[in-house]
Amino acid sequence: MSGVKATKCKALLRVLIPWVLLTNIMVVLYCLRNPNQVKLRGSQEDTCPLGVAKLQKKSVIKQSHSEECSPKENIMFMKTHKTASSTILNILFRFGEKHKLRFAFPDGRNDFFYPSPFLCSQVKDYKPGECFNIVCNHMRFDHQEVSKLLPPDSVYVTILRDPVDLFESSFHYYHKAVPLTWRIRGENKLVEFLNNPWAFYSPEAFNSFYLKNLLFFDFGLDNNLEADDPRVMTEIKNLSRRFHLVLIAEYFEESLILLKDLLCWTMEDILYFKLNARKSSSVSHLDAEMRAKALQWNGADWKLYQHFNGTFWARVEAYGRERMKQEVEELRRRNAEMKDICIEGGGAVEAQKIQNRRFLPWQPVGESSILGYNIKKDIDPRFKTLCEKMLTPEIQYLSELGVNLWLTRLWGWLKDTIY
C-alpha cells in the first residue's frame, strides 16, 4: 500500500513541479517587463493635438468612396479577450498597413503589459505629445491614458460576446495559467468549477481575473462587483459615453457592416477569415443549469452584454433591416470568393496540419486546440499578398509590422518546452 502511495506522490510531483516552475517564470517575466511606472495624469502638452494629427496624416487615404463621408483612420479598438477580436485586429492591421497609418504598438510583447492598467509609456518609442492613428492591441483599458495618443476625432470601438460562451472559452484557454484551478478534480473541470467557484477562486490570486467577469476587467473595471451593485450600471453608462460602436460577436457580419458604415470604409476593407477559432472537440457544451450558474458568476458581464446588445440592435434598426440583409449577403459572397482563392481545402485545419509556420496561430498552454489555415500554392498573383495578410495570425503579423516580440516568443518557447 505504501508503495502505491509513493507512486501516486511521485506522479503528482511530476505534474506539479513543472507548473510551479512555470508560474514562477511567468511572475519573473511579468516583473521584468513591467517596471514600476509613475502614472502621470498629463497636461494638454502630453496629448495628441488635433491640429498636429491632421498635418501628420494629411490625405493619407486616397479612396473614392462617397460624397457624404471620407474614410476614418483614427481608431481605438479595445481588444477584449475571447470575443473574435483577433479577426477584427487582422482587419485593422491590413487597413493601417495599406494606408501607411501609424500604429501605437507595445514593446517586446503583443499586449500593453496586460493585466496592468494601460499607460502611454507602454507604447513602443512613445514621446509625450506624439500622435498615432490606430491603437488596437490587448490592454486593460484606461480612457484618459489612451486619449493622449489619439486626436480628439478618433472613433472608439470594441466587441463583446455572450458571457457564458466567453467564460467557457476563457476557462479552457487560461485555466492552466491560474494556479488555484490546478486543484480541480474530475474530467469536466469547468462544471466542477461552476458547482463551487469560490473553492477555486480568489480575487487576489495570480491570474484569477481570467475566470470572473473578464470583460469588466478588460475595461479597467472591478470584475468582482456583483450584478446588483449600482456601480455596475454606472460603469456601463460611462462606457456608453466612451465608445462610438460596440460590436457583438454572435452577430459578427452585421457588426462589420455597422463598422464599415461608421468608418466609411469599403466592403474590401472588412473581408476576413475567422482567426483563432477552436476545434469543436475542445468546446464544453453546458446544459441549462450550468449556463445559469455561469451567468450568475459573471453577472456584471451579463449586464454589460445585455445593455450593448440592446444598443446594437437599435443601430441595426436605424441602418435598415433589409439594407443590412443585402450587405451581409454581399459580405458572405465576397468572403466565399476569397476562401476559394486563398485557402487550401476551403477551411480551417488543426495546428498539426498547418504546413507553413507563418500561418500557425498561438496555442494555449499544453494544448493545440486553435485552428489555422493552409494557403493555396497556385494563387493568382493579383491576390497573393491579400491572401497572405488575411491568413496571418496576430503574432506573425505584428512581427511583419516591425514589432519586437522577444518576450512573447520567450514565453512561447518556455510554455512549449516545460509542458
C-alpha cell belonging to residue 332: 458572405
For residues 287-291, give the mean pLDDT: 97
Whole-number pLDDT of residue 56: 54
Whole-number pLDDT of residue 40: 44
Whole-number pLDDT of residue 5: 46
State the pLDDT confidence band at 35, using cuts at 50, 70 and 90.
very low
Spatial neighbors of 149 by CB under 8 A, at least 6 apart, are 48, 104, 120, 123, 126, 130, 131, 132, 135
Q: pLDDT tens digits for 371-419?
A: 999 999 999 999 999 999 999 999 999 999 999 999 998 988 887 777 6
Going edge to edge, which strands form the sheet with 134-135? Answer: 103-104, 134-135, 75-78, 155-160, 245-248
- Nearest Cα residue to 304 out of 400, 419, 161: 161
> Does 4 score more than 50 pLDDT?
no
Distance CA 7, CA 13 (A): 10
Residue 6: burial class (beta carbons within 10 Å; 0-12, 13-18, 19+): exposed
Whole-number pLDDT of residue 413: 85
* DSSP conformational letter for 109: S
> Does 26 score more than 60 pLDDT?
no
In the chain the domains, ranked by start, together with CATH numbers, are 70-418 (3.40.50.300)
Q: pLDDT tens digits for 41-76?
A: 444 457 887 655 554 555 445 544 445 789 999 999
Q: pLDDT tens digits for 235-279?
A: 999 999 999 999 999 999 999 999 999 999 999 999 999 999 999
Phi, psi of 273 (to 5 degrees): -115, 145
Q: pLDDT tens digits for 340-381?
A: 999 999 999 999 999 999 999 999 888 889 999 999 999 999
